[in-house]
Structures are given as C-alpha cells and as structure tokens.
Structure 1
C-alpha cells in the first residue's frame, strides 16, 4: 500500500539518508535543495535516485527532486527540514507565506528550530511545528548520489503546540523510529546531543583538527579523558538550566549505559561517558573534522551553546564552561558567536519570565 508523500528539505548527509529511509518505508519523497547548492547533488537531480550502502542497502527512486520550494511542498502534509542548524533561519524565511496551517514542519535536529520558525512566520498561517533532539543516522555521503548509513538511532520529539502530539504521533511513529517525546520544544532544545558531546573534544583538539595531513577521527582520537570531562561539565550546566523549567534532560540517550545510570536516579561520571563513547560502532568510523570551520564547531556554538547560555541568563543560571567555549570559539574563528548565535529575540523570549516562556513553548501564544 502506498503511503503519503513527504517533502524532505536539504541536500546533505542526513537529508539523503532520510530520503532513502522514507522511500524504503514505502513513502513517496519530494527532495528539495536550494538552487545555489543544486550542483552539489547534480547526479540526484538527473537520476532522481539515491544509492545506499550500510544498514539500508539498495537504490531508491524519489518522487521528485527539485529546487522549486512551492513544487516540493504542494499538497504535502509533512515537510521535514534536515539541514545543519545554521540553515534553519533561511528555510523559515523561504517557507514564510508558502505554508498552511494544516501542514506540519518537522526539523531534524531541532536546535530550537520550531521557536525560530514560529518567530519568523509570525502572524501568517503557521503549521504545527515539531523538533527532534538529534539526527537519527550516523551517515556520510560517499559520492554524489551514494550514501553510507552506518547506524540507525531513535529520536525524541517536541511539539509546538504541545496539544498536537496526540493527533500526530501515530503517523510520526510510522515515519521515524521514536523512543519518546519531550514536554515541549524548549526541553527538546535543551536535550541536544552534539553541543555537549562535541565541544570538549573540538576545543582540546584544535591543533590536530587544523593539521592538514592528520587523519583525525573525533570520536576515536578526540574524546580523551580531559575532553570528556569538559563535555560532562557542559552537560551539567545545561541540566541546571533545564531543571529551572522542571525538565530532567539526558542528552546522551544514544549511550544506553548512561541512560541506565540516570534511570536508577544516579549521576554518571566522566569515566562512564568515556567508556560509552569509545568503541561505538556507529561513531568511531566517522572521519574528521579536519577544519576548525567544520559544523562540529560552527553549528554547535551559535545554535546550541549560545542559546543555552542566553536562556540560562534569562533565568539566573551561571554557565561558565559553556561561556568559555563560546569565547574561545569566537577567538578561533574571529567571529563573535554571541552576536551571530541564537538570541532570546530569535527564540521569541525577549522580556518573558520563566513562566511566560513555558506557556509560549506549550501553546505558541504569549
């Protein structure tokens, strides 16, 4: 039985994997890429197919591959944005005025995307917005039109408004492997995995990352004891922010032993995370980054660490480790990430109290 058509927006590793996965599940996929990046997936535009190796194998034909956004989303209920977080604002502006209230925008990973999209769309008809806490694939593009999906993970979702969850979950459970839901999109954004896990390894391995001839693997080489300790500090600061809003977040859900420790009501130590991260079959084969301008840094800083810190300041929480990483990245990149990163205004939180922020994240109303 043929299932519905889903629009997948994006042309990178994750979008290719999602297009393959959904097609494999029986969905029809409209794959969209912005015109200025079309050349990067020329083969997919020409053949309308993507070949996959790894845990999903085969060649999969898309319903449509297009650089026309209106064509991509026409008569489609679900629009899935799967791009680096720094592209979310561009996509929100692209979709403004073109989407309808009966459509659903799912952003993977979310990184507060629903709040940014809501803030940009404003009083226009606004779809239901859904954020995922993480990408559900460990994946790399092998070449144009060919993707290697190393591992499939489960995701958790947050909804804006939260009342939409009950109606949409049966369909979303069929589209994705979902292991749970968050109270709202704010909790989802505070439960991102990458900014806490990557930043310690990136900040302490800037030299190896920049060294041109070094065959560097972040998860295998970069997650040293010292780097893991930084990641644990970032994690605990972010948890303190979440606790103010009544959330108990565990970003390292991808590591079962960490989840089990916290389910017992205990706090994991750096040694537990070190053991969990090393030898993970989906992570250790991933090569890179080999450039300090990699998204491992330039996505996690402005779209994860900066909003975490800004939200913390709004509710009176100190985040010295998070702030130190942002400050050092600003020096590395010669970019003021405090200026370029996600602000309270971007989230629609300016001037709101803790309780008003919670209400807005639950209802979309101020």
Structure 2
C-alpha cells in the first residue's frame, strides 16, 4: 500500500492515556480518521465525556523547526470494544505503558487482520512480547509489528484541582524518532507507514525517522531508563522536599530536569549509558550514540530529539520549559516502570552476554528499597520476551529475519 492508501483507512489507537489521546487528537487534526480504544476496566474513567469534550491540544510544543498544531479534536469512534476500534484499520497504534502491554496484546491478537501495521509507542520491548503472544495464540495473520524509541512529544494531561480535564499539554515535539520492525525484513514498510500518521508530521517534516538495528536497538535507544532512573532516585530528596522544606515553591512545578539534574547525576547517567553500549555491542546490535557533552546538560540526551544535536543547557541555567513535568513521588512510572522493564532487562542481558552492569544494577537495588518493591523478582525477563533459550546467533536471526526456534519442552 502507499502512504495515501494508508491515510484513507482509519487509524486505531489503543490506550486512552496522555500519549494515546495526544497521538489521536494530533492525528485527527491532521486529517486522519481516528478510532480510540480503552480496555473496559478503565474506559469508565479514561473515555468519560470524550464524545462531548473531545481533546484539546495546547502547550509550547518546542522544536527546532517550530512545527505546531493545536486545537480541539473529536474522534470518529470512542469505544471499549476492540473489534470496533480496529475494524477497517490498516495502522494500529499501541500507546500504553509497557506494564499494560500484556492486557492490550491479549485483546489485540484475536482481532488482527492481514495487512495491518502495528506501531508500539514507545516499544519498550513490546514488539517481542506481541510476537510471542501471537505464537502462543496461534495467530498466523500477516501483519507488520514494530516500535519506536519514544512518543512524538512530551504530553501531559492538564488537571485542575486534581480533576482530569480534556486538555493535553505538549511540552515539545520530536523532530526525529528511531524505530524498527520485528523482523527487520519489514523495516522499510514499517518506517514508511509512519508518514501516514498525522502525529508524526513534525518528524516527517523535520529530520525524519531513522531505522534501528533491530528492535533491541530501539529498546536500548529509549532514553527513559537512563534519564529517569538516576534522576528520580538520586534526586528523591529534592523532589520530596520541594514546596515543603524549600518553602515558597509549588510542589507541582518540580521537574527532574530543572531541579535534580546536576554534574554528578550526569556522571551516573553517562556511566549507565556506557553499560548499555557494551550490552548492544556484545549482542551485535547498535543504539543511538551520544557524546558525553549531551549528558552534561539540563536537557540531557532528550534535547537532541526535539532541538537537534547542539541542544545544551548548562547546569548553571534554569530550564523553565520542564517545570511541572515531575515526577512528584517515588511511586512514579519513572521508577515503577523504567526500573523493572528497562533496567531489569539490561541486567538480564548482562548476565546472558557476560557484561557487568553495576550502575544499572544499583538503580534496581535502590529503586526496590525506596519503593518497597522487589524489582529483581518482579522485573521483565528474557523468558517474557522469548529470548532466554536462544543463542546469540539465533537471537540475531530471529530479530533480523523472523526465524525463531521454539523452546524445547
């Protein structure tokens, strides 16, 4: 199919959180037909009143090339029935936290149709989990599956007095994203199909998408674990005292970028990143490469995603754009998702491929203590991704060509 043919079909968006609603509203404002789905257990909250209010996109939308799109969008369909959501769709976007992947994939696989292209935003190893679920459920549909390093923007639901409003604030818009298909032989079609998604327009009209060297590359290139975990854990005292001991501050204006990042935290983030580099090289894949100077900035390695490689904000300067981005508690997805998913998979890969990961492991230890969780026991495993039993050569063959050896029973 061509980009125009993909555009003529509705886009099905699974997940009605901040990213799902933002991607849906942005795509609708760009001219796509959009179906929004939420699991029945959560639909009463996340889909409430959407038929009356729609979603309004606001915010600074900072980016190197100045792309902006704001306004109020009403979806073509809002539903908690997944078969309705995907009916007629050629592009399906899964826009949920990785901890919700299993529930959404369980619902999605039975309704997949030949020719569909599934985009997981962000991937967070979701492509591997979806392919595994397809094998478990005996799904033989000819679909393309792939994922992206992150969402096209920093999106925050606007709340008033603790109540969720129908507004989504876009802090920035990415000018480039890295994606990959599983298997890699589907990569060209997967990347090209992003041009049919209105939410990717700032990227399509910016520096464009780039292809990762397999979905493991995309997993390593996700900036969240390396940014969020050291920033949240090492900055916890500032976060918890903001607006309390630090009198006169509004607690909801806290941001790890503006208030936690510093030279010493950046050193930890860079050491974390170097362990990721070692892991990728040991496996035989790649990841986004950054010089150390990008870490020594308040925008860190997120800056190049929306402002280019020269985006550097010295630590002696404020970063007002990030005010209010949080996190506001240690029980935030910056720890409760990024540690058991990102950090723990890196830990497991380190054991399998003989790469020491002491900095990454320290995030798991400290995150577990600070949240009262047991992330070494709870964390995502290679068994969850169907990679534990594969040799290095078999892993690369699976990622690149789709050739998969089933686990012996």
What TM-score, normalized by structure 2, do the two folds share? 0.80
- Alignment pair present for 1:309 and 2:347: yes
The answer for the alignment partner of 2:149 in structure 1 is 133
1:162 to 172, 179, 184: 184
- Alignment pair present for 1:22 and 2:37: no
2:47·2:78 contact (CA, 8 Å) conserved in 1? Answer: no
SS at match of 1:221: helix
Q: Cα distance 1:218–1:211, how it changes in 2: closer, same or farther (>3 A)?
A: same
1:2-41 paired onto structure 2 within 5 Å: 3-41=8-46
Which sits farther off after the overlay, 112-121 or 95-104?
A: 95-104
SS at match of 2:111: coil
Runs (4 or more) in structure 1 with deviation over 6 Å come to none
Deviations for 1:38-74, whole angstroms, at most 9, x for unmatched residues? 2333444332621111242111121101111111111
- Alignment pair present for 1:76 and 2:92: no
The answer for the alignment partner of 2:394 in structure 1 is 356
Deviations for 1:27-46, whole angstroms, at most 9, x for unmatched residues? 10001112222233344433
Q: Cα distance 1:292–1:251, how it changes in 2: closer, same or farther (>3 A)?
A: farther
Gaps of 5+ in 2: 60-67, 159-163, 245-250, 291-300, 405-409
The Cα shift of 1:279 comes to 5.5
2:9·2:88 contact (CA, 8 Å) conserved in 1? Answer: no
Which sits farther off after the overlay, 166-175 or 187-196?
A: 166-175
Q: Cα distance 1:303–1:101, how it changes in 2: closer, same or farther (>3 A)?
A: farther
2:14·2:95 contact (CA, 8 Å) conserved in 1? Answer: yes
The answer for the alignment partner of 1:124 in structure 2 is 139
The answer for the alignment partner of 1:333 in structure 2 is 371
Deviations for 1:283-339, whole angstroms, at most 9, x for unmatched residues? x23431111111111110111111111112111111011011101111222222122
Measured in 2, the distance between the counterparts of 1:310 and 1:75 equals 40
- Give the aligned length: 355
The answer for the alignment partner of 1:193 in structure 2 is 223
Measured in 1, the distance between the counterparts of 2:147 and 2:106 equals 17
SS at match of 1:347: coil
Measured in 1, the distance between the counterparts of 2:286 and 2:395 equals 17
1:48·1:65 contact (CA, 8 Å) conserved in 2? Answer: no
Gaps of 5+ in 1: 262-271
What TM-score, normalized by structure 1, do the two folds share? 0.89
2:343·2:364 contact (CA, 8 Å) conserved in 1? Answer: yes
Deviations for 1:182-206, whole angstroms, at most 9, x for unmatched residues? 1211111111101001111111122
The answer for the alignment partner of 1:255 in structure 2 is 303
- Alignment pair present for 1:45 and 2:50: yes
The Cα shift of 1:146 comes to 1.2
